[in-house]
Structure 1
Amino acid sequence: MAHVKAVVHTHSVKAIKYTRRDAAVQALMTLNISRLTKGIWNRANCREYEEGEICTIPIGTDHELIDRLHDALKSNPSSCSVLVRDHGLFVFADTWRKAKKECEIIEQQFELEV
């Protein structure tokens, strides 16, 4: 991800609770983009997701964290975010403002789903 110049990382309780749901089978967080979730960047298409599109955020493990983050992003080319089970959320962007905005949108989604 050559454009990455900023990373926002949280250890929010809501993110951790989300990753514990169906931990044995869940490997992706799926968001149906709506007015509430607009602003999430689609890395594969170099644009924000549009209303009605599906955004997936990989959920990985804390083991060998850096390698896992890289692998999760590589296998999910449209995502700029990774949830790490029992750890938190990582959001990657070209500016800290974009990373913060996307982090806030995803964190808001945790409130709705947890």
Structure 2
Amino acid sequence: MNPDYPEDHPRNIIPELCRLYYNNGWMPGSGGSLSIKYGEEIYITPSGVQKERIQPEDLFVQTSEGEDISGPPSSKGLRKSQCSPVFLNIYRLKGPGAVFHLHSKSSVLASLLTDGNTVHLSNLQMIKGIRKWTTGGNHKFTDDVQIPIIDNTHTEDGLVDGMVKAMNDYPDTCAIIVRGHGIYAWGQTWQQTKLVCESYDYLFDIMLQLRAAGIQEIR
């Protein structure tokens, strides 16, 4: 933790979460990226680095319109996250306080083992950790929750059109899975975004274990 910043500042929170998610297996290699809005500034992890080694000064800072405010020391040779266009698009359209992109195995497997363009979940207690983005409040465990899946592209910025369509088609969603790639999730705060990511990872894992047991539908 950097004592030059408040405890809840993104320069302290993001490196801590990166280490947590690396240990969870959600940010292996250089995969994944995190962003948190702090006032009018958006703090984003750099691209192509081992996330568990990120330091507070390594973050890029932008406006919601994509204007650069500051970046890490040039001597570090870091590059802006390739997820930045996707993050900024979600900030503009949904107005969240944080957007995370994780390469969790459960989200990838759920997308590959699901026919169609959504993952359906119902009758699982942890569904109550998922917020209904447009209508407000959290889901009941009996709700039929649909998480949209979009096709992967060769570059992160190529995902933007598919993201926009998914957000328009499923306005209550706070997460989108990229098939064979990972999940983007958002919340009103970084704490809520963390809750969404952890809830979905648990729910997808339950679904996958049921599929492995030959149970195709949760009742």
The answer to whether TM tops 0.5 is yes
d(CA) in 2 for partners of 1:7, 1:43: 13
RMSD over aligned Cα atoms: 1.5
1:49 to 124, 139, 157: 139
Q: Is the 8 A contact 1:33 1:49 kept in 2?
A: no
Judging by fraction of residues, say which structure has more strand. 1
Q: Is the 8 A contact 1:33 1:51 kept in 2?
A: yes
Structure 2 counterpart of 1:14, one-letter code:
S
1:16 to 108, 114, 117: 108
Task: Pick 1 or 2: higher relative contact order, CA cutoff 8 A, min separation 6.
Answer: 1
Judging by fraction of residues, say which structure has more helix. 2
Instruction: Note the 1:82-93 alignment, pairs <5 A.
Output: 82-93=176-187
2:166 to 72, 84, 94: 72
Please tell me whether residue 104 in structure 1 is matched to residue 198 in structure 2.
yes
Unpaired runs of 5+ residues, structure 1, are: none
d(CA) in 2 for partners of 1:36, 1:49: 9
d(CA) in 2 for partners of 1:7, 1:61: 19
Larger radius of gyration: 2
**Bigger shift: 83-92 or 44-53?**
44-53
Q: May I ask how many residue pairs the two structures share in their alignment?
A: 112
Identity %, equivalent residues: 24
